[in-house]
Amino acid sequence: MNRSSTPKPAAAKTAKPVHVPDPGVREAATAFIRDTGKMPMFAPVSGPRLTPEEAPAAPADWTPHRPSREGTKKGGKFRLETKYTPAGDQPAAIAELVAQAQAGDRDQVLLGVTGSGKTFTMAKVIEQTQRPALILAPNKTLAAQLYSEFKAFFPDNAVEYFVSYYDYYQPEAYVPRTDTYIEKDSSINEQIDRMRHSATRAILERDDVIVVASVSCIYGIGSVETYTAMTFTLKVGDQIDEAKLRADLIALQYKRNDVHFERGMFRKRGDVIEIFPVHLEDRAWRISLFGDELEAIQEFDPLTGKKTADLNEITVYAASHYVTPRPTLNQATQGIKAELKETLDWMVENGKLLEAQRLEQRTRFDLEMMEATGSCAGIENYSRWLTGRAPGEPPPTFFEYIPDNALLFVDESHVT
């Protein structure tokens, strides 16, 4: 039986949502571009608002941030220990690379088949130029191999390792069909985290540093300005207030635990405060006070409690790369609240009530944690506000920690 079917009328197109700026929030210079298929990505209220597909370019006058490197640095000269000597084409390659580096040539290419001694050539270049170096590898496996080789080449210098510290990472996600929210979950390798802290500490304190890194070094990390601003030094004979010292340690994200003593923790025993620095594995510091005077600083084995050395001074770095001074944190929270208010207004106006409730609950919880403890889970999500970067300005990375005269070796550059 034949049936005649009449075509169904075309569904009416959904009108684009219209955003009415909230009068209580300062409006940006240009309106943001909205895509009906995606939620808008709100930039800070002082800059342009763009969708993720139209990220702004870096400002034309942008220059990398660099920490102050005044004063005498620790460490000595690079000294290569090996029984091998350059052979074949290596002497000519080493001489040319060194000459062009000293002449200020920014880009050079070293070609060679596997087994031709490129790693040894890099080591000789570092020794002859006497400049710190960052060696960028395409993956963790190759980075570990290079780290082992350079550790053997330069036993008296600081050879550090900087790769991703995630053993497992599940990004946050939302499944609209089932209204399922999947929270971000991760597992951090404590040993690699320790080595990352050791790398940032060494690059700020010493001139004889070689850092072997994976592409993790181009991803966001805490600002070097705030990281160095939160650092403090303790010397024998200093007049210090014990309560202030404990407060400073907490501000650096150290946790107090008088029973279970691990990396990134401190404890108090009478007039003694013990600190387990995040960059050390089997050593900790014991600070003895006599009233308000710092009487002695000792290095000890946290497992046995046995003293291993007497120290005259120590420099305490933060237990997290995302520490932020309190004035900066207070200013950032005000900006986050203003952006949150405008975002919630847009969501409510466009009927996204469930999303607005979820966003408000999550963000306000993070704000309360930051105001109470100085940090929160996923604080890197607020790095734009915490670092005060302009729209389009690159986020802080490990490259901002290294000095201006450092050498950069990109191994397997066609992959990296």
Q: Are 403 and 63 in contact (CB under 8 A)?
A: no
Total length of the chain: 416
Q: Tens digits of per-residue pLDDT, 152-192?
A: 999 999 999 999 998 888 888 888 888 888 888 888 899 99
Helix axes 326-349, 353-373, angle to 10 degrees: 170
Q: Are 319 and 280 in contact (CB under 8 A)?
A: no
Q: Got the DSSP string for 45-100?
A: TTS--B-GGGPPPPPTT---------SPPB--------S----TTHHHHHHHHHHH
The C-alpha atoms of residue 227 and residue 327 are separated, in whole angstroms, by 14
> In this structure, is the dihedral angle defined by the CA atoms of residues 76, 77, 78 and 80, taken in order, positive or negative?
negative
Check for a shared fold between 89-219+397-410 and 229-317: no
Q: Are 206 and 188 in contact (CB under 8 A)?
A: no
The C-alpha atoms of residue 16 and residue 353 are separated, in whole angstroms, by 17
pLDDT band at 20 (very low <50, low <70, confident <90, very high): very low
Nearest to 228 by CA among 332, 331, 315: 315
Q: 69-78, 121-130, 205-214, 349-358 — which is least confidently predicted?
A: 69-78
Q: Where are the domains of the chain?
A: 89-219+397-410, 229-317, 326-387
Assigned fold of 89-219+397-410: Rossmann fold (3.40.50)
Q: What per-residue confidence (pLDDT) applies to 64?
A: 59
Tell me the CB-side half-sphere exposure of residue 280, using CA atoms within 13 A.
17
Q: Tens digits of per-residue pLDDT, 74-102?
A: 778 999 999 888 988 889 999 999 999 98
Q: Are 253 and 375 in contact (CB under 8 A)?
A: yes
Q: How much is the mean pLDDT over the chain?
A: 83
β-bridge pairing 407-410 and 133-136: parallel
Give me the CATH code for the 229-317 domain, please: 3.30.2060.10
The C-alpha atoms of residue 150 and residue 161 are separated, in whole angstroms, by 11
Q: What per-residue confidence (pLDDT) applies to 14?
A: 45
Nearest to 244 by CA among 257, 236, 234, 229: 234
For range 211-237, the mean pLDDT: 92
Q: Are 158 and 209 in contact (CB under 8 A)?
A: yes
Q: What per-residue confidence (pLDDT) applies to 8?
A: 53
At which residue do the structure tokens 């609950």 appear?
A: 361
Contacts of 280 (CB under 8 A, 6+ apart): 194, 198, 263
Q: Tens digits of per-residue pLDDT, 350-406?
A: 999 988 998 999 999 999 999 988 888 888 888 888 888 777 778 889 999 999 899
Residue 256: phi and psi, rounded to 5, are -85, 130
Nearest to 159 by CA among 136, 132, 140: 132
Structure tokens at 300: 């000890």
